[in-house]
Every structure is written in C-alpha cells, then in structure tokens.
Amino acid sequence: MVSVHGSELTLPAAHFTEADLRAYQARYADVVHSQRLYFGAWVDGPWVYLDLSRHYPDSASARKAARRDRQVAYYDVSTGTSIRL
C-alpha cells in the first residue's frame, strides 16, 4: 500500500478523536470509491497520520510508486510490515 501524494493529514495523537477520523473519511469518501483507494492510518510517536492508499500487486511495484511520490515508506500487506525507503 502506498500513500496517495497530497492526501496525508498529520494530527497530534494526544488530541486525535473519532470525529477527526470521521471528518477525514467524509472528505474523501467519493474519491476512495471512484478510484478504488483505501483509508490508511498509523501512529508514529506523538503523531497520527491519515492518508489514502493505493494497493499494488507486488512489492516491486509498491516500492517504485513510493519512490516516485517521495514517500518515506510503504506498507507490505503480505508481510504486515512497513518498508522504509
């Protein structure tokens, strides 16, 4: 899974609420369905990251897309791990 450039939202974890998540989902609901994307969320230290993600059929394709879009990492669904670039 690779984050779609421009869809990222970073919020302080200490103040993150369900309302924040619901607002993000509402904002992107149409594009998620029309472009076959996924909602992504993770916590890294004091931050919560929300994004739209695109699934790629294999690790090599995901790595290429992540590098092209200057991502820090991508998520490998088959292993359940984040791969840092």
Which tens digit of pLDDT belongs to each residue from 74-84? Answer: 999 889 999 99
Q: Given this model, what pLDDT does residue 57 score?
A: 94
Q: What sections of the chain are H helices per DSSP?
A: 18-34, 59-68
Q: Given this model, what pLDDT does residue 8 score?
A: 94
Q: Give the domain extent around 60.
A: 2-84
Q: Given this model, what pLDDT does residue 42 score?
A: 87
Q: How far is CA 70 from the centre of its chain?
A: 13
What is the number of structural domains in the chain? 1
Q: Given this model, what pLDDT does residue 47 score?
A: 97
Of 70, 57, 50, which is closest to residue 5 (Cα–Cα)? Answer: 70
Which tens digit of pLDDT belongs to each residue from 29-68? Answer: 999 999 999 999 989 999 999 999 999 999 999 999 999 9
